[in-house]
């Protein structure tokens, strides 16, 4: 949302306020600093081992108070988080229209990703302005009965944010030097596999399989695996138990956005269950293997930049080896264009909002 905030603030007739819930405090603060955003409201809701019912109710109550204080003409939410759904519900209860950025993504399975798929669907039925990143997302919304004149295809703002940070890295020698020093444990004669994993539907057996696959891949000798490990104990416990101390595997704490973008650029292959990375990596021409059974982002699969491999160890290893050993397959997956936008999504969203509130 950072590029959207900036684009809206360029429209002088709009009074833009930023509210954060801090559903993920550590990840939030570094992004706010990176993009120079100071929230007007900070609900600071993150609690250890907080379940979804507790988080949802806290967001609704916190947002209720914020909305009653500032009475906005429009609330903008993003994506599929519990924060987005609950903030939308709070706005609905207060009779305030909602604009949904990154609207219309669907797997059509409410249990995968869980609870994100349901969050998106519930947000949609309460939304007034739908900002769909792709034509496919727009078609999903129209199929659900959303009027065509309430949907705008804008591209995805994640591409805007990514390109801005890439430009920061490329234009600042001090940043590049700092990143090389920070990740000096990586060696130039080995290819880097970057891994992220945190999806709830993979807790338990799924993460055990993922860890087994990474351990097997690390035994190749020609790769180094970098895994910033999510703090959720359902992730960190199996990861550290299985992969801690393994040669060629570097387990890191969660990374700030800028160093993570640097690592994406340096990597040869990305293994992930993240939605955003499926949109970012094609811009950097990095093949992505998605360790999930479904994706709400089929455009990248159709563009051959992303492949679904599930959470079975044998398949993750086989598909990774195919890309590492088959130059033609690697070239095919890294050659496509990004179907998620050109870096101008935030400007398109801001133009629609500004026109609605002249």
- Please count the CA atoms within 13 angstroms of the CA of 217 that sit on its side-chain side: 34
Q: Which residues contact 202 (CB under 8 A, 6 or more apart)?
A: 210, 273, 291, 292, 311
Per DSSP, what are the bridge partners of residue 250? 226
Q: Which of 42, 116, 279, 280 is catalytic?
A: 116
Q: Is 201 annotated as catalytic?
A: no
Tell me if 256 sits within 8 A of 264, measured CB to CB.
Answer: no
CA dihedral 6, 12, 15, 21 (to 10 degrees): 0
What is the Cα–Cα distance from 287 to 306, expressed in whole angstroms? 6
What is the Cα–Cα distance from 259 to 176, expressed in whole angstroms? 10
Q: Which of 6, 80, 299, 319 is catalytic?
A: 80
Q: Is 356 annotated as catalytic?
A: no
Q: Which of 130, 199, 230, 292 is catalytic?
A: 230
Q: Is 273 annotated as catalytic?
A: no
Tell me if 294 sits within 8 A of 112, measured CB to CB.
Answer: yes
What is the Cα–Cα distance from 206 to 200, expressed in whole angstroms? 10
DSSP helix, strand, coil percent of the chain (3-state; round to 5): 50, 10, 35
Q: Which of 198, 266, 297, 348 is catalytic?
A: 198
Per DSSP, what are the bridge partners of residue 54? none
DSSP 126-181: T-SEEEESSHHHHHHHHHTT--GGGEEE---HHHHHHHHHHHHHHH-HHHHHHHHH
Q: Which of 200, 266, 292, 297 is catalytic?
A: 200
Q: Is 130 annotated as catalytic?
A: no
What is the Cα–Cα distance from 11 to 13, expressed in whole angstroms? 6
Show the tokens assigned to 49. 């081992």
- Please count the CA atoms within 13 angstroms of the CA of 5 that sit on its side-chain side: 17
Q: Is 78 annotated as catalytic?
A: no
Q: Which of 102, 201, 273, 279 is catalytic?
A: 102
Q: Is 80 annotated as catalytic?
A: yes
Q: Which residues are catalytic?
A: 80, 102, 116, 198, 200, 230
């Amino acid at each position: 949302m950072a590029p959207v905030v900036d684009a809206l603030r360029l429209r002088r007739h709009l009074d833009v306020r930023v509210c954060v819930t801090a559903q993920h405090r550590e990840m939030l603060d570094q992004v706010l600093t990176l993009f120079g955003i100071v929230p007007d409201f900070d609900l600071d809701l993150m609690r250890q081992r907080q379940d979804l019912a507790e988080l949802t109710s806290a967001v609704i109550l916190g947002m209720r108070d914020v909305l009653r204080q500032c009475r906005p003409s429009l609330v903008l939410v993003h994506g599929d988080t519990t924060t987005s759904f609950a903030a939308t519900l709070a706005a609905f209860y207060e009779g305030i229209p909602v604009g949904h950025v990154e609207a219309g993504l669907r797997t059509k399975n409410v249990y995968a990703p869980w609870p994100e798929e349901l969050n998106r669907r519930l947000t949609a039925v309460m939304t007034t302005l739908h900002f769909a990143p792709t034509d496919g997302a727009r078609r999903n919304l129209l199929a659900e009965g959303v009027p065509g004149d309430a949907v705008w295809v804008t591209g995805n703002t994640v591409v805007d944010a990514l390109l801005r940070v890439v430009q920061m890295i490329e234009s600042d020698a001090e940043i590049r030097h700092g990143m090389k020093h920070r990740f000096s444990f990586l060696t130039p004669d080995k290819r880097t596999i970057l891994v992220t994993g945190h999806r709830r539907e993979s807790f338990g057996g799924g993460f055990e399989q993922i860890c087994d696959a990474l351990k097997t891949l690390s035994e190749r000798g020609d790769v180094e695996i970098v895994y910033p490990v999510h703090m959720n104990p359902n992730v960190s416990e199996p990861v550290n138990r299985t992969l801690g101390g393994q040669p060629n595997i570097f387990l890191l704490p969660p990374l700030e956005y800028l160093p993570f973008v640097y690592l994406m650029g340096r990597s040869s292959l990305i293994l992930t269950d993240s939605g955003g990375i499926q949109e970012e990596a094609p811009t950097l021409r990095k093949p992505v293997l998605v360790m999930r059974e479904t994706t709400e982002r089929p455009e990248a699969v159709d563009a051959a930049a992303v492949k679904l491999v599930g959470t079975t160890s044998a398949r993750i290893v086989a598909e990774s080896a195919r890309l590492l050993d088959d130059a033609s397959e690697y070239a095919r997956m890294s050659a496509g264009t990004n179907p998620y936008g050109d870096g101008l999504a935030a400007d398109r969203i801001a133009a629609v909002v500004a026109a609605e509130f002249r």
